[in-house]
Amino acid sequence: MTAPDDTSGDRERRGRLVGAAFMVLAGLLFIALDTISKFLVAEYSVMQVTWGRYFFSMLPILALFAARGQFRYLRTGRPGLQILRSGLLFLASALFVLALRYLPLADTITLNHSSPLLVTALSVPLLAEKVGWRRWLAVIVGFIGVLVVVRPGFQELHWAVALPLVTATAMAFYNVTTRMLAATDHPMTTIFYTGLVGTVASLAAVPFVWAAPDLWGWIGLVTIGILGFVGHLAYIHAFSHAPPAFLAPLSYLGLAWGTLAGWALFGQLPDLGTFVGMGIIAGSGLYIIYRESIRRREHRGATG
């Protein structure tokens, strides 16, 4: 009598393990992308690096569509929202690369991880979601963590410190619009428009800033495109195997990966204040994820 339940439990555990593996893989691929981008942006313009990121990820996307005969997913019921969402990601990508030129890798990634706090705040006016006082308190504490990292008034601020914060804001709007599109469009449709808008936008600008890459430059540009493509595939596969509440905390491993990469490759080890702020931001984000999982369970129980 208990065999079916045991089998179901085993499948769920295996699914969580597979999902976690894909999530960790995606995080590592994205950190590798960011690290190579930091090397590239020292030699090439921000727009040229952003072009490589999009153009060389769009090619395998089109190849995947052709191989699977999925061109039906080119149609969308909300083209305006798809273009807006993709434009937000393009803006975030370009500003993040620009921030990498001036700021340490770990600091840039840490400030960018304030995006989930903004998503929680924006979900109230844009998605009509209810956010309780505990999550609002976590948002406030998280922004205190941002101030600890930036420390306005206690150190000479580089103007570029605003870039990852603007990136986080753009990513917050991007994530909110992604939720809105999930109700109407297939994920492959969203992936296609993400690559299309970024490729077209960067192609329009890159002729004005183009510098002929050497061999290693081409290898870097192609590599970040492929890393972005495979990283997004791993991210999608992760959520197809395990629930978001289980996977979302794993995204904060990116703070550790970014710190290690910045120290090992650029000799940039965050100071104590940055480590403290990093912990506050991560702790606030994890608590928000925890509270959202409780709300979802309560909602399922009420509707069940």
pLDDT of residue 70: 81
Q: Which amino acid is at 284?
A: S
pLDDT of residue 197: 93
pLDDT of residue 241: 81
Rounded-to-integer distance, Cα 287 and Cα 275, Å:
18
pLDDT of residue 1: 46
pLDDT of residue 112: 81
Could you list the pLDDT tens digit for every one of the 304 residues in the chain? Answer: 445 555 766 777 888 788 889 888 988 998 999 999 999 999 999 999 999 999 999 999 898 888 888 888 888 888 999 999 999 989 999 999 999 998 888 888 888 877 777 777 776 666 666 777 777 787 788 778 777 777 664 455 677 788 888 888 888 888 778 778 877 888 888 888 988 999 999 999 999 999 999 999 999 999 999 998 898 888 878 877 877 667 767 777 888 888 888 888 888 888 888 888 888 888 887 787 777 777 766 666 655 5
pLDDT of residue 244: 65
Q: Which amino acid is at 26?
A: A
| Alpha helices by DSSP H, 185-251 | 187-205, 215-241, 244-247
CA distances for 17 relative to 202, 237, 239, angstroms: 37, 12, 12
pLDDT of residue 157: 63
